[in-house]
Amino acid sequence: MANMLTRSRAFPCLFLLVAISLASVSLVAQDTPTEKEAARDVLKKMSALEQSLDVPALVTRLTGPNAARDQVVARAKELMDKELITLADDIATHPEIGFEEKRSVSKLTDYLRQHNFSVETGTASLSTAFVAKFKGNNGSPVLGIILEYDALRGAKGAFHGDQHSAQGPVGMAAAIAMAEYLTRTKSPGSIVVYGTPGEEMMPPNAKTVMHEAHAFDGADIIVRSHASSQTSRPAHGFGSCCLNIVGAKYTFSGAPTHQMTPWMGRNAVEAVVQLFNNVDASRISIRPEARIQGVILEGGTAPNVVPDRAVADFYIRYPDEVYLQQVVEFVDNAAKAAALSTGTKVKIDHYGKDLDGIGLATLAEVGFQYMKNFGATGVNPEPGKPQGYEETGSVSRDIPGVGFSAQSSTWSNHTYEMDADNLKEIGHQGFTVDAEAMTAVLFDFATHADYRETVKKEFDGIKALFGEYQTALKKTYTVPNVPDPK
Ligand SMILES: [Zn+2]
């Protein structure tokens, strides 16, 4: 139960069901007045950058008639129709939770091997992670495709209520169609498929761990699909669905003794109670947009023994990562103070974080047009909040990319209804549109050097502005000077 509380993680996919429509999309990444003020100049520059790129003209040019592209897209659809929808159904009906996706990984990697990919599993010491490279790879550009496959943990057991079951098949259809195209036309380019486990889990953040192990190095673009109850795309810029987050675990050790002689021991669960009280006391000195919530994972075993071990687990959230550091310090200090006041000791573990990612209009708008062209349903015409193509923010800050979210359910994410839609027409249709749009964008990226340059220009521009924005925030969030008492 306690373990479930800490590991249950409803938010990484939440962004896909929340599409915010605002007249000024360039502002939606900034949640607080402070952030808006700090971002004012940056947003002006970003707007100028976007205008110079003329994304609407780019979309019209790329998504117009192109027989060679249509042939590759048709091949991806054929793979979906003939084999990969069946494989998606199979994974959907054999759900495995994060870091235990052995059967799913073996199905996916078997299929990749059959299509001339070499597979290395256990990437970054994660047993259900893998990297698969097409054996005919031929230099750059390197096209990267992220596959996910973990199921949700529910009261009735694992279930694919977020439809990660289809992400492997969708990504493989695009990867194989493009690999065959590059080989057939002897075109330069490489295909690398990344199997990333446990999207719903922290710790560890699998993508961050893999990124730190250099698994994604060398990719010129990374794509990924995800289930959604509407066809949508994010606005350009930097941001995240659910605030920037630090996961922090506080483990207290005390000394056991009989309940009748508690002064002979040190009570670790009292330290945890004190931690919660201290956090509540500090809220008055923390900006109101913070979200700090903890659960107690361990709190002793018997009332007649003073507990010598207790563990609390917190998600600490703030709209930007700069002020988030101050909030984390408050919570850490609350834990240290709790230990001091109870004579216990505390170990602090910042075990994971999800931060803002970077989203690009040059990729998202082209992908969105393709999804519409290929028959996507439930189209939301307004761009959503800016965000990266993966939930940790770590990869999308370093490598340009885009996510594809064609409507694949009539229900919201993380529901039994969305799980049921895995096997229905609406699911199959959405997954096929994702595969087709992903293939089309990869085709354009591989075959148009000028497109690659435009994407890079937007990515480099937004990344530099992201740095400027953080510098502005650092100047804003000063810490008050507290003198020594006289
Ligand atoms: Zn998800």
Q: How far is the CA of 12 from the centre of ligand 1 (A)?
A: 6
Report percent pLDDT > 70 for the chain.
94
The confidence score (pLDDT) of residue 19 equals 38
Query: Within its chain, how far is the Cα of 32 from the centroid?
Result: 22
The confidence score (pLDDT) of residue 135 equals 98
Is the pLDDT assigned to residue 23 strictly greater than 50? no
**Hey, is 231 helix, strand or coil?**
strand
The confidence score (pLDDT) of residue 191 equals 98
Higher pLDDT residue, 383 or 24?
Answer: 383
Residues 6+ positions from 58 with CB-CB distance below 8 Å: 362, 365, 366, 451, 454
215-227 mean pLDDT: 98
What span, in angstroms and rounded, lies between the C-alpha atoms of 14 and 415?
A: 12
Q: How far is the CA of 183 from the centre of ligand 1 (A)?
A: 32
451-468 mean pLDDT: 97
Q: How far is the CA of 402 from the centre of ligand 1 (A)?
A: 15
Q: How far is the CA of 225 from the centre of ligand 1 (A)?
A: 9
User: What are the extents of the domains in the chain?
Assistant: 15-238+359-471, 244-354
What span, in angstroms and rounded, lies between the C-alpha atoms of 297 and 312?
A: 6
Pairing of β 221-225 and β 142-147: parallel
Q: What are the C-alpha distances in Å from 321 to residues 91, 250, 282, 468?
A: 36, 21, 19, 14
Q: How far is the CA of 432 from the centre of ligand 1 (A)?
A: 18
- pLDDT tens for residues 296-326? 999 999 999 999 999 999 999 999 999 999 9
Average pLDDT, the chain: 93
Query: Within its chain, how far is the Cα of 196 from the centroid?
Result: 11
What span, in angstroms and rounded, lies between the C-alpha atoms of 196 and 367?
A: 22
Is the pLDDT assigned to residue 25 strictly greater than 70? no
- Look up the pTM and report it: 0.88
DSSP string, 280-337: HHHGGGS-TT-EEEEEEEEE-S-TTB--SEEEEEEEEEESSHHHHHHHHHHHHHHHHH
Phi, psi of 51 (to 5 degrees): -65, -40
- pLDDT tens for residues 371-416? 999 999 999 999 999 999 999 999 999 999 999 999 999 999 999 9
Q: How far is the CA of 464 from the centre of ligand 1 (A)?
A: 29
Q: How far is the CA of 462 from the centre of ligand 1 (A)?
A: 25
Is the pLDDT assigned to residue 207 strictly greater than 70? yes
Largest CA distance in the chain: 83
The confidence score (pLDDT) of residue 271 equals 98
Higher pLDDT residue, 40 or 104?
Answer: 104
The confidence score (pLDDT) of residue 113 equals 98
The confidence score (pLDDT) of residue 38 equals 85
Q: How far is the CA of 360 from the centre of ligand 1 (A)?
A: 20
Q: How far is the CA of 362 from the centre of ligand 1 (A)?
A: 24
- pLDDT tens for residues 64-110? 999 999 999 999 999 999 999 999 999 999 999 999 999 999 999 99
The confidence score (pLDDT) of residue 447 equals 98
What span, in angstroms and rounded, lies between the C-alpha atoms of 15 and 384?
A: 9
DSSP string, 442-486: HHHHHH-HHHHHHHHHHHHHHHHHHHHHHHHHHHHS-----PPP-
Q: How far is the CA of 10 from the centre of ligand 1 (A)?
A: 9
Q: How far is the CA of 199 from the centre of ligand 1 (A)?
A: 6
Q: Which of 16-30, 48-62, 270-284 has the lowest mean pLDDT?
A: 16-30
Phi, psi of 230 (to 5 degrees): -150, 155
Q: Which of 21-35, 146-160, 229-243 has the lowest mean pLDDT?
A: 21-35
Q: How far is the CA of 101 from the centre of ligand 1 (A)?
A: 15
- Find the helix packing angle between 361-373 and 425-447, rounded to 10°: 130
Q: pLDDT-derived band of residue 36, with 50, 70 and 90 as boundaries?
A: confident
Q: Which of 111-115, 349-353, 452-456 has the lowest mean pLDDT?
A: 349-353
Q: pLDDT-derived band of residue 28, with 50, 70 and 90 as boundaries?
A: low
The confidence score (pLDDT) of residue 201 equals 86
Q: How far is the CA of 419 from the centre of ligand 1 (A)?
A: 12
What span, in angstroms and rounded, lies between the C-alpha atoms of 401 and 156?
A: 36
CATH 3.40.50.720 fits 244-354, yes or no: no
Q: How far is the CA of 411 from the centre of ligand 1 (A)?
A: 14
Is the pLDDT assigned to residue 18 strictly greater than 80? no
Q: Please, is 420 exposed, middle or buried when counting C-beta atoms within 10 Å of its C-beta (0-12, 13-18, 19+)?
A: middle
Taking phi first (over 0 means left), then psi (-120 to 50 degrees means alpha), and beta for anything else, what does residue 283 get? Answer: alpha
Q: How far is the CA of 149 from the centre of ligand 1 (A)?
A: 9
Is the pLDDT assigned to residue 7 strictly greater than 50? no
455-459 mean pLDDT: 98
Q: How far is the CA of 8 from the centre of ligand 1 (A)?
A: 13
3-20 mean pLDDT: 39
Q: How far is the CA of 212 from the centre of ligand 1 (A)?
A: 21
Nearest to 219 by CA among 196, 255, 194: 194
Q: What are the C-alpha distances in Å from 76 to residues 235, 240, 326, 389, 426?
A: 27, 30, 48, 21, 18
Pairing of β 221-225 and β 401-404: parallel
Q: How far is the CA of 347 from the centre of ligand 1 (A)?
A: 31
The confidence score (pLDDT) of residue 349 equals 97
The confidence score (pLDDT) of residue 34 equals 87
The confidence score (pLDDT) of residue 1 equals 31
Q: What is the DSSP letter of 165?
A: G
Q: How far is the CA of 429 from the centre of ligand 1 (A)?
A: 18
Is the pLDDT assigned to residue 11 strictly greater than 80? no
Q: How far is the CA of 240 from the centre of ligand 1 (A)?
A: 14
DSSP string, 79-106: HIIIIIHHHHHHHHTS--BTT--HHHHH
Q: How far is the CA of 157 from the centre of ligand 1 (A)?
A: 17
CATH 3.10.129.10 fits 15-238+359-471, yes or no: no
Q: How far is the CA of 167 from the centre of ligand 1 (A)?
A: 10
Phi, psi of 392 (to 5 degrees): -85, -20
Is the pLDDT assigned to residue 467 strictly greater than 80? yes
Q: How far is the CA of 259 from the centre of ligand 1 (A)?
A: 46
